[in-house]
Amino acid sequence: MTDDHSTLGNLELLPPGALGMDADAILADLTHYFCHTLGRRTLRFDAPFLYQALALTVRDRLMERWNETNIALERNGSRRAHYLSLEYLMGRLLRNALLSIDIEDRAACALERIGVAMEEVQGLEHDTGLGNGGLGRLAACFLDSCATLALPVTGYGIRYQYGMFHQRISDGYQVEEPDPWLRDVFPWEIERIDLARTIKYGGRTAVHEERDGRTRHEWVDTHDVLAIPYDVPIPGYRNGVVNTLRLWSAAATDEFDLEEFNAGSYSEAVAAKNEAENISMVLYPNTATESGHELRLKQQYFLASASLQDILADWSRRRGGDFSGFAADNCFQLNDTHPAIAVPELMRLLMDEHGLGWDAAWAVTRESMAYTNHTLLPEALETWPVAMFRRLLPRVLEIIFEINARLLAEVSLAWPGDNERLARMSIIEEGPEPLVRMAYLAIAGSFSVNGVAELHSNLLRHGLFQDFAELWPEKFNNKTNGVTQRRWLAACNPPLSGLISERIGPGWATELSRLAELAEHAGDASFQAAWREARAANKGRLAAGIEQRAGVALDPEMLFDVQVKRIHEYKRQLLNVLHAIHLYDQIRRGDGEHRVPRALIIGGKAAPGYVMAKNIIKFINNVAGVINSDPAMAGRLQMVFYPDYNVSAMELICPAADLSEQISTAGKEASGTGNMKFMMNGAVTIGTLDGANVEILEAVGGENFFLFGLNVEEVEAARAAYDPAAIVAADADFERVMQLLGSGHFNRLEPGVLDPIIHAVLNPADPWMTAADFRSYIDAQARVDEAFRDAGRWTRMSILNTAHSGRFSSDRTIEDYNRDIWRLQAVPLAGP
Ligand code: 26V
C-alpha cells in the first residue's frame, strides 16, 4: 500500500462493473442491506428502511463510477474548479441517482417482486435542505451540470446538522420547526476522517525575522477546531462520471480535554466539544436580522479554510512545494460573498504555511479566484465588524488590511487626489464601528466578477460596483442562471417529458436547445390535445397533494396561478394577494361572469426574524380562508397557501402551473430560477422586466408572456413623487380592495393584524412600490383570462414556452462559466 490518496494503487480492488445492474442483482443487494446491515426482518413493520436499503444498493453502483472518475482525474485532469458555497439545496437524491445510471426500471422491478411500489419508497426520502433558496438550489443544479458535462468540478460546503427549518402553519401564522435531517441517517455520504483539517480561531499574531532577512508571520495561542469531510456522490447523466460534493463537519480537536476531565470539570470538557460542534450546527437564514453573528463568520472561515487546505494539500501531494503553476490548474468560484474570506485565507496559507512572498501569493490568489454576486439589495451585502475579525481571525485581518492598502494605492494611482473615491472603494468602511466589506474584498481578490442575468450584471457594472468596473472593466461579466432539465423536466414531469421525447427524441435531456423543435408542433391539434392531457394529469396530482397537505380541494379544471419562492417584500407576494382580493370583490359584486375560474397557489418560507414576511404569510392565509369559505366563490375562485415549500414541493408544483408569477419590483430580483423551471414545464409567465424575466421574454416573444409594470428606470424615476394614496384614490378597483382590507373583512376576529399590510401598501416610502404596479398588473391578469379561455391559444403559448426554454438549462450556464472563467477540459469516461 502507498500512502498516496489516489486509488491508483488499489485499482484491482474495485474492478468496474463488478456489481450487476439487473433486477436480480439489485434485489439481492437490497435484501442484504435490509436484513444484514439494517437488521430488519419484515416489510410490514420495517418498510421505511427499504429506502435506506435501496439507497445503499444504488450508492454501491455509484461507488464504482466514483472511483473511476477519481482515477481518470488523477491521470488526465489537470485544471480543476472548486465551487465554494455555504448552501446546497440538493432535495432528494435517490431518484436522481437511479435516472443517472439508468436503473430506475430495473430497481422498480426488483421492488415489485417484494410487492412494493417504487414511488412509495422514493416518498420515504427527506429533502436534503442545506440552503435557503435560489442561491443554494443554483449550486445544486450547477453540480448536476458539471458532472453531466464531465467537468472536473468539486463542490465544497458545510454539513449542517440542521438544514432549512420546516414550516408549519398554525392559525395562518408560520411556525418554524427544526430539520434534523441526519437523524434518520443519510445513506449517501462517506466520512473521510483521514482527510480531516485543523481550523484556527482566536489567539494572536507574532512576527519573526528569518535568517534570510524575511519576516515570518505566525498565528499562535489559537482555539482549534477539527473539520471532517463527508463526501456525497454527484452522478453525471448516463456518462459514467461521478463528481464529489465535500461537506465539512466541525468537531473538537480532542474528543474531550483529559486534563480538565481529570481535574473534575467534566462539564467544561464537554462544553468545549459542544462549542466546536456548534460551528456546523445550523444553516443561517438570510435576513438582515441574522447578519453580524459571530458564529456565521466562524462558519464562513471554517468552509474557506478547510476547503483551501484540502486543495493545497492535494496540490502539494501531486506537485510538491512549487506553487507557480497553481493558478493555471485551479479555479475557485465564490458563490456570493459568503465564502469570500477565502481570498485572505489563501494568501495566509500560501505565505505563512507554504513560504511564498506577498507578490507571488497575490498573483496566485488573483488568478485563481472568481466571484459571483447574487443580489443588489444593499441590506443583503455582507459586512463584518473589524473588531469581530480581530478577535476571531487576527492574522486574516492583517492580510485584509494589507490587501486594502495595496488596493487604495492602485486607486490613488488611477485617480490622483480623488479622496471620495478612495473612501467609497475602501474594503474597510469607516465609521463608529469600522466594517469589512466582503464584496469589495471578493472583487479585489478575483479575476472575474459576474452577475446572474444580463440586467443584473449591467446593474452591477453601472450601479453597485461602478467604481470597480471603471478600475477593472475586464473583470466584469455576465453568466445568466439556468436549471437542470434532468430534475426540472425529465424527473419531475414524466407525462410531459414522455410526450416530448415521443415527438423529438430524448436528446433534450443533455441538449436542451433541442426543445426548439417543438415549436413547429405548437399548432398541431392532436399534439395540443396530448399536451393538455399531460398537463391535466399533473394538475390532478398537485390537487391531490394540496388536499392532503393543506386540506383544500382545488378544481384541476381551473387556471392554476402559482407563486412559490421565499417570502420577501421585494418579490411582492403582496401584489398577488391584492389581485386575489380584486377578483374576490369582482365576483362578489356579480361582476365576475367574464373571469376564468382560478386557483391561486402561494408558497414559501419567511426567515424567522423577518417580521413583515411573516405578516404576509398571515395575510395570504386569511384571504384564502375568506375566499374558500364563501359559497359565491365556488367554481370561480380558490386560494391556498402551500405549507413547507421546498425542492420536492417544487417538483410537484412546477409541472402543474398554468401561470408563473414573477412579479418583483424591477431591479430587485437578481435572476430568479423558479421562473425558468415553470417555463420549461409549459407555464406562461406574468412578470416584470426584472432578472432573467427579461431574457425569458426575449426568448419566448411578447405574445407568449404577460408583461406588466414599471421598468428599472421608471421605478427610480417614480420614486421621488410616489404617492400611493393618490394612486388608490384614482383607481376604483384599487379603492374597493383597500376598503375591504381596511374594513377588517379579512381579519374579523383579529383586530389590527393586517394593519402592517395596509401601511406597507400606502407607505410613500415603500421601497417596493407595490401600488405603482397595481393597475398594470390587474390589466395583465385580465389579458391572462382572455388567453386562457381559448384553449388552443393557451396550449400553443404553453408549448412555445417549453420550446424556447433551451437557453435556461444550467448546462448552458456551466458551458459559459467554463468557456470564460474556468477553462477546464472535460474528462470523459467510457459511460455506462
Ligand atoms: C436577500 C436578503 C433580503 C433581505 C435582507 C437579507 C437578505 C440576505 C440575502 C438575500 C439574498 C441572498 C442571495 C440570494 O439568494 N440570491 C438569489 O440568487 C439566485 C441565484 O442566483 C437568484 O436567482 C435570485 O434572484 C437571488 O435572489
What tens digit of pLDDT does each residue of 716-728 get? 999 999 999 999 9
Q: Check residue 9 and give its pLDDT.
A: 52
Active site includes 565? Answer: yes
Write down the H helix ranges in 744-826: 755-762, 774-789, 791-803, 810-817
Q: Check residue 516 and give its pLDDT.
A: 98
φ, ψ at 443 (rounded to 5°)? -65, -45
Distance (Å, whole) CA 169 – CA 478:
39
What residues are paired with 449 via a beta bridge? 371, 476
pLDDT 10s digits, 416-462: 999 999 999 999 999 999 999 999 999 999 999 999 999 999 999 99
Measured from the Cα of 138, ligand 1's closest atom is 20
Q: Which of the four pLDDT bands, split at 50, 70 and 90, describes residue 267?
A: confident
Active site includes 148? Answer: no
Ligand 1 mean position, distance from CA 136 (Å): 10
Name the percent of the chain lying above pLDDT 90.
Answer: 90
Rounded average pLDDT over 559-574: 98
Average pLDDT for the chain: 95
Q: Check residue 5 and give its pLDDT.
A: 44
3-state secondary structure of 125: coil
Rounded average pLDDT over 487-512: 98
Active-site annotation holder among 57, 128, 510, 673? 673
Rounded average pLDDT over 671-694: 98
Q: Which of 412, 434, 431 is nearest to 422 (CA)?
A: 412
3-state secondary structure of 779: helix
Please say if the pLDDT value at position 271 is more than 90: no
Please say if the pLDDT value at position 676 is more than 50: yes
Active site includes 677? Answer: yes
| Beta carbon of 287 within 6 Å of any ligand 1 atom | yes
Please say whether the beta carbons of 651 and 91 come within 8 A: yes
Please say if the pLDDT value at position 14 is more than 80: no
Please say if the pLDDT value at position 258 is more than 90: no
How does strand 173-177 pair with strand 166-170?
Answer: antiparallel
pLDDT 10s digits, 507-542: 999 999 999 999 999 999 999 999 999 999 999 999
Please say if the pLDDT value at position 490 is more than 60: yes
| Beta carbon of 336 within 6 Å of any ligand 1 atom | yes
Distance (Å, whole) CA 663 – CA 674:
12
Please say whether the beta carbons of 33 and 51 come within 8 A: no
Q: Among 109-118, 253-262, 365-374, 663-672, which stretch is predicted with the lowest mean pLDDT?
A: 253-262
Distance (Å, whole) CA 109 – CA 117:
9
Q: Among 139-148, 373-382, 445-454, which stretch is predicted with the lowest mean pLDDT?
A: 373-382
pLDDT 10s digits, 64-82: 999 999 999 988 768 999 9
pLDDT 10s digits, 743-774: 999 999 999 999 999 999 999 999 999 999 99
Active-site annotation holder among 338, 366, 395, 566? 566
Q: How far does CA 441 lie from the centroid of its chain?
A: 23
| Beta carbon of 203 within 6 Å of any ligand 1 atom | no
Rounded average pLDDT over 363-376: 97
Nearest residue by C-alpha to atom 23 in ligand 1:
672
| Beta carbon of 377 within 6 Å of any ligand 1 atom | yes
Measured from the Cα of 456, ligand 1's closest atom is 25
Active site includes 571? Answer: yes
Active-site annotation holder among 65, 374, 535, 668? 374
| Beta carbon of 673 within 6 Å of any ligand 1 atom | yes
Active-site annotation holder among 59, 246, 348, 677? 677
How distant, in Å, are the alpha carbons of 94, 126, 614, 764 from that of 91? 10, 8, 24, 41
Q: Which of the four pLDDT bands, split at 50, 70 and 90, describes residue 3?
A: very low
Q: Residue count of the chain, please give it.
A: 832
Active site includes 673? Answer: yes
* Pocket test residue of 286, 376, 573 for ligand 1, highest count of atoms within 8 A of CB: 286
Q: Check residue 6 and give its pLDDT.
A: 45
| Beta carbon of 289 within 6 Å of any ligand 1 atom | no
Q: Check residue 831 and give its pLDDT.
A: 55
Ligand 1 mean position, distance from CA 135 (Å): 7
